[in-house]
Amino acid sequence: MAQVLEITTLRPAPGRTPEDFVTANADIDDYLRRQPGFLGRRIAVRDDGTVVDVVAYDSMAHARAGAGGITGEMGDSPVHDTIDQTSVDWQLTTVLHEVEPPAPSGTPAVRDGAEPDPAGQTLAQADATAREVRALYEQIEQRVLGRTWTLPELAVGFTNDAAYVGRLVLAAEHTWDISGDVDAELRHKLAENMWWLFVLADKLGVDLPAAYAETMAKIGGGLRG
């Protein structure tokens, strides 16, 4: 299976064209191609002016390397989960789900000779990965919007994803109809919520790994009496 993240721009700002988005995103292509499990990338402008930036990875190779980053499908994909954040210039829609991977294309990913450690990331490593991925989003926002998302906009993104977790839990209990692999969606959405927490903590100047350790120690001590 291939992990999918589709970034779609809608409603270009006055004086801007969909092609502006294509040009703005070209400079992160080298970074994406260096990621473990990279299969290919495609940026397309649809007939209605919508721009789709999609990147495909072999998710097993990507996971073994403990890699984060932008992932997607080659070509159009069905929408399983949508998070909308509207600005005065563009609307960004993020879609995350699982699909069968496309055939490899483009330059193969650059891989280190050493086999990556399959163990999960520590909180500190996850924090660093979250900030790295956020920096990629900021490149896109700066070039497309002329600014990065504000703290309130980031908070709205987090609350949208958090609310969707509730719908996925209902779907897992068969009380809410959601198409696709609910277990896979829940896994990814919980991970995205964790990413949002690291992003918000960074913007608020909070050392989240340290705060988590301190808070759990305090709560645990209180519960133990």
**pLDDT, mean of each 10-residue run, the chain (225 residues):** 43 58 60 67 62 60 48 30 27 34 33 42 87 86 84 90 89 83 87 94 95 94 88
Edge to edge, the sheet with strand 38-45 lists 38-45, 51-57, 2-10, 91-99, 83-86
Question: What pTM was computed for the model?
Answer: 0.50
Burial class (CB in 10 A: 0-12, 13-18, 19+), 203: middle
Q: How many helices (H) does the chain have, and how many strands (E)?
A: 7, 5
Rg (CA), the chain: 18
Structure confidence at residue 205 (pLDDT): 96
> What is the Cα–Cα distance from 55 to 37, expressed in whole angstroms?
11
CB 5 within 8 A of CB 96: yes
Residue 41: beta bridge partners?
55
> What is the Cα–Cα distance from 30 to 38, expressed in whole angstroms?
11
Residue 93: beta bridge partners?
8, 84
Structure confidence at residue 110 (pLDDT): 31
> What is the Cα–Cα distance from 121 to 65, expressed in whole angstroms?
10
Q: Which two tokens stand for residue 123?
A: 């909180």
- Buried b / exposed e along 188-201 (16+ C-beta atoms within 10 A): bbeebebbbbbbbb
Structure confidence at residue 92 (pLDDT): 35
Three-state SS at 94: strand
